[in-house]
Structure 1
Amino acid sequence: MEIAFEKVNYWYQAGTPFAVQALYDINLNIPAGEFTAVIGQTGSGKSTLIQHLNALLKPTEGQVVIGDRTITSETKNKHLKPLRKKVGLVFQFPENQLFEETVLKDIAFGPQNFGISVEEATRLAHETAKMVGLDDSLLERSPFDLSGGQMRRAAIAGVLALEPDVLVLDEPTAGLDPRGRNEIMGLVRQLQVERHLTIVLITHQMNDVADYADHVIVMAHGHMVKQGTPRDVFSDVDWLTAHQLELPSATAYANKLMQQGFVFDPIPLTADELADQLVPQINKKGVADNG
């Protein structure tokens, strides 16, 4: 499902003396079936942007086109429920989404809320729990007895049980250790491939952007200031520094090595790309040194 923003402006508390503009003239496309990362400093407008993807927020001006639906400030809330089944949003802190007495009931709640029978919702809950790697032994436990990583999985399973076309994740690896972060990101990639989902990811982890994203949107002060492939975005080191954005680890290391005479073309974004270009140069240097 493709998503397009067309001249979108958004004000919190619009029309009041306390109005604050959060988005300015946003024009962008999120391609169907691709993995899009949204990056930017805290307060840049990332979370406001993604809450437009399933009409939790509606544009004050302009329109958001989601598949065959057009959302404007005049769109009535009663027409939005089917859309929220198609675009699933996982918040940064999963405990904000988990509330039932057991994990199984929590995952099944969404489908039941959309009119699916208890039996079918339970079947979907078991299916999606397995899909995200939650063992059956956890399903009768309280969601608040789970580890941080397990809570993320439960929150993702609850959204997947709605069978969405688009999965939106706000900092899904925040607070997790490296192993937990790799497991969650591997799961997200697997879901994209196996279920042909459009993925939209907010993250501060530039390594995840380099490793997984097809398309990157950069936000700053409510404006979209850049979009393109990860290589487009990360190739301009000076621009990134000016916008207080980090490089992926492999790219940062390659830049340091270039100061020592190593050559990279194109600049590596991932550890594998770095190794592919670096090892031959090290081997060549070793042969030269040994004469």
Structure 2
Amino acid sequence: MAKDLKEKDLKQVAYYPGCALEGTGHAYNRSTKAVGKALGLELVEVKDWNCCGAMEVKNIDPQVQTYLSARNLTKTEEMGFNVVMAPCNGCYHNLKKAEYDLAQNPQAVEANERISAKAGHHAYRPGGVETIHALDWLKRAVGEEELARRTAGKLKGMKVANYYGCMYTRPRHIFPEKDQGEGSESTYAPHFMDDLLASAGAENVDFPLKTACCGGAHAMSDADTSTQLVLNILTTAEACGAEVIATECPTCHTSLEIHQLRAEKLLGRKTNVKILYFTQLLGMALGLSQRKVGVAENMADPRAYLREKGLK
């Protein structure tokens, strides 16, 4: 359905920030809204939204997780929207999975209808709302040509490794709009973030770990494994010539920043690559200040590097 969305359908969309963007991912929330406003786009936050179930609920009852995500789609419908934008990979993944489960799994349908009735609202039925990512939103609502015109190559000279994380493309069957040929995103070699940042002048390095897992789900239970996974991503990005790792997921972003510091402290492995949300980079390329896109909220302070690149 995403390929059928017209540009005008994306000028104003429902916005599902999710829990992380109101906490550790606040800079992503801030920069996403700022970029949208600068480009003349409108995000209307879903009223009375709830947690999508994140990574924990499915371990107890996957049908309850499906309901939690489906309720957000119901709330989107009640507002009169047929498109909801979720910038967090986990939220995006869970809303897409709920759509798939409700179309394929009778147990999910039964549980959703039962819990929805008990909660006093109508049960979401698949096909009513299209969930898109922030990358889809900017790619289709604005596009590279307009971004190139608006940014005038402000990211020129910046070498970037684009890191998508593992939940943006997996499992492939819940993303039917991907892998559909020209103009669609690829689950095997995602490129939407590469395309957007290149249009603003960035040099995208050939980075083979763009969909590798950062270990975010294991951060509490096995921090050492998470640190090793992140260190592999960081050192590979540097070996590829990257000065910056661009992210599009709050969990991945936080994981990379925390474990970059942890790897240096515990393992003596220091890496210098900067970690920034792609929306922060695009925002500054559009002329927004570091403050406006929340750069000071990043753990590994990139401000001096950005000033060297002329992004103040």
Normalising by structure 2, what TM-score? 0.28
Greater C-alpha Rg: 1
TM-score normalized with structure 1 length: 0.29
Answer 1 or 2: which has greater strand percent. 1
